[in-house]
Structure 1
Amino acid sequence: MELDDPEKPEFASWASYTKFARRVRHERRYVLTREEEAFLATVRATNRGRDVELPEGMILFRAQRGIDWHTPKDDDGNELGEEPVGYGAARMKPRPNQAIEGRANPAGIPVLYLGTTEQTVISEVRPWVGASISVAQFKLLRALRAIDLSRGHGKSSFSEVGLRHFLDGTPVSAEVKEKSVWIDIDNAFSRPVTVSDDAADYVPTQILAELFRDSGYEAIVYKSQFGEKGFNVVLFSPDDADAINCAPYEVTAIEVAFKEIGNRWFATKHLKSDPQN
């Protein structure tokens, strides 16, 4: 097997990420082979021009399913009825050492998932119509160095390679291979998380997140599938931002868009012509 080469640097294949992801999902992940080590080293070596700075004081959003209720009283101590309120600041952050599995973190290692718009963060928690959601504004306490994984969002590595390679074996240039691999990485982070996801589905991006953290990044920015303007932001240290307010929201509508992603099958017995018709 030809290895990715961080010295050149050059990926062995336009599908190097796909091969890496398959191996760490289904073969081995805690003691990496030469193939995985070469791939990760080449990712590190080809990470050029993706640095962005998140400025101190930047306002981001975070959503959690559910709300609290508060019972105000008048001056005489009479209860005035319940009113909805957003969760408290502590509830809006992940619990230390009890973080659940996520796109950029394994269970037990907390990171802070934020977004640039209210629509983005509410959509990311997969609510239903009528659901109550707490949405907090978070303020960055210092400037953070982030890696931008939004460039390949919505693009296709297959299309980048071109049809000629698959028809007649036309060689793929190092530049196209690199662009294709990073498109796959960008799309892997932005792919929606669902409750049916297997924990193994998170492993490739979790490993890459640790690589980026080890490379000196303090945050990851990637495109959201919900809304053209929204971005997701992951802070490796939840202490780099504080909740400054939180409000209760209710989901009033959900727009569903869909597309067919494979060939339709047909029952052959129903394809036969009916002589009576």
Structure 2
Amino acid sequence: MDTDNPEKPEFASYRSYWDFAKRVRFQQRYVWDEHVKAFIATVLATLKDRDVLLRRGTVFFRAQRGIEYVRFRKHDPDEPSGYSAARMKPRPNRATEGRANASGVSVLYLGSTLQTVISEVRPWVGADISVAQLKLKRRLKVVDLSRGHGRSAFGSIPLGHFLQGTPLTLEQKEAAVWIDIDNGFSQPVTLSDDTADYVPTQILAEVFKNAGYDGIVYKSQFGEKGYNIALFNPDDANVINCAPYRVEGFEVSFDQIGNRWFVPKRTRSSKAKRKMAGSRRKAGK
């Protein structure tokens, strides 16, 4: 089986997401072949139990780099203030590239905590940040893409599959593919990214939107409790306040992701050979 089967539904491989990503990044992005169409249909067919309802009136956060200074009374000094409500919403038709939106397509990115949204804008120590609170205007149905966060699809596959070629079950392949989808959305976005990297998740975001969802929820890489929320319609939330913040410091965490290499030790015999070779060169002169 080399093509995903939405009728069953069953993914062809635990690597189906990466096969899809490779095709839309490097082969055909806008006109899908049968493999991409089958993958998309299988994703929709396996969406079960990922619906989340966000209640009307729920408040989330949104951060932007920078603040402004305003004078509240004529003779008072300028005071720091958060950006205006209009500036804290994405500009129509002028949005920059993101994990859930192509350039020009406005999506409202929110977060569940202050730490999450401030960290997501990649500030430096001493940076001034405007943070707004936004309230949902209606109940929204979103896709939960947080379940596989931080897990490895490869690590979820039984060792017997690689050693003895034991076939994977439908459930094992499905779990691995969704782990990859979840992690694809939670990868941090930086200005140095190749925007082609966003294409797979941008396509999936549009697929979810076309399927009737109002947005997606995915885990943030910054903080264990933080979530990101991307709303497909920026008008689904209103700015209710905004305040200025200053970044005072960072807590850095890290993991070694590969083996350490070492400079080979020089043996006594190799040192003697180099000394002898040096002596010969001098004698030759």
Both proteins in one fold, TM over 0.5: yes
Cα deviation, residue 136, structure 1: 0.1
Counterpart CA distance in 1 for 2:27 and 2:187 is: 22
What letter matches 1:33 in structure 2? D
Secondary structure, counterpart of 2:97 in structure 1? coil
SS at match of 1:271: coil
For residues 60 and 174 of structure 1, the distance between their equivalents in structure 2, rounded to whole angstroms, comes to 37
1:141 Cα offset (Å)? 0.2
Q: 1:149 aligns with which of 145, 148, 151?
A: 145
Pairwise CA distance, 1:260? 1.7
Aligned partner of 2:22: which letter?
A: R
Partners of 2:22 and 2:266 lie apart in 1 by 41
Amino acid at match of 2:117: V
* Structure 2 residue identity aligned to 1:111: V
Q: Cα distance 1:42–1:69, how it changes in 2: closer, same or farther (>3 A)?
A: same
User: In structure 1, what residue type is equivalent to 2:55?
Assistant: P
C-alpha RMSD of matched pairs (Å): 1.3
Write the distance in 2 (CA, Å) between the matches of 1:17 and 1:173.
Answer: 17
Q: Which residue of 2 aligns with 1:42?
A: 42
Pick one of 252, 264, 273 that aligns with 2:267: 273
Partners of 1:30 and 1:242 lie apart in 2 by 33
Distance 1:258 1:89, change over 3 A: same
- Structure 1: how far apart are the matches of 2:156 and 2:174? 10
TM-score calculated relative to the size of structure 1: 0.94
For residues 158-197 of structure 1, the aligned pairs below 5 Å read 158-197=154-193
Q: How many Å separate the matches in 1 of 2:252 and 2:22?
A: 30
| Aligned residue type for 1:240 | D
- Partner of residue 283, structure 2: none
How many matched pairs? Answer: 270
**Match of 1:56, as an amino acid?**
R
> For residue 18 of structure 2, what is the aligned residue in structure 1?
18
Using the TM superposition, give the Cα deviation of residue 23 of structure 1 relative to its aligned residue in structure 2, in angstroms.
Answer: 1.5
Q: What letter matches 1:186 in structure 2?
A: D
Q: What displacement does 1:14 show?
A: 0.6
Match of 1:245 in 2: 241
Q: Whole-Å Cα distance in 1 between the matches of residues 22 and 231 of structure 2? A: 26
Give the match for residue 30 of structure 1: 30
What is the DSSP-based 3-state SS (H/G/I as helix, E as strand, rest coil) of the residue aligned with 1:197? coil
Q: One-letter code of the match for 1:151?
A: R
1:217-256 to 2 correspondences below 5 Å: 217-256=213-252
Residue 87 of structure 1 corresponds to which residue in structure 2?
83
When the two structures are superposed, what TM-score results if normalisation uses the length of structure 2?
0.92
| 2:195 aligned residue (199, 204, 215) | 199
Q: Which residue of 2 aligns with 1:126?
A: 122
- Which of 212, 216, 219 is residue 216 of structure 1 equivalent to? 212
| CA offsets 1:72-122 (integer angstroms, 9 cap, x no match) | 33xxx42x2121000000000000010110010000110100001011000
Instruction: Describe the superposition over 1:109-146 as per-residue Cα deviations: whole angstroms up to 9, x where unpaired.
Output: 10100001011000000111000000000000000001
User: Which amino acid letter does the alignment assign opposite residue 119 of structure 1?
Assistant: Q
Q: How far 1:274 moved relative to its partner?
A: 5.6
* Residues 226-264 of structure 1: CA deviation (Å, up to 9, x unaligned): 111110001000000000000000000111111121233
Runs of at least 5 residues in structure 1 that lack an aligned partner in the other structure: none
Match of 2:275 in 1: none
Match of 2:230, SS state, is strand
Identity %: 63
CA distance in 2 between partners of 1:27 and 1:271 (Å):
47
Secondary structure of 1:147's partner? strand
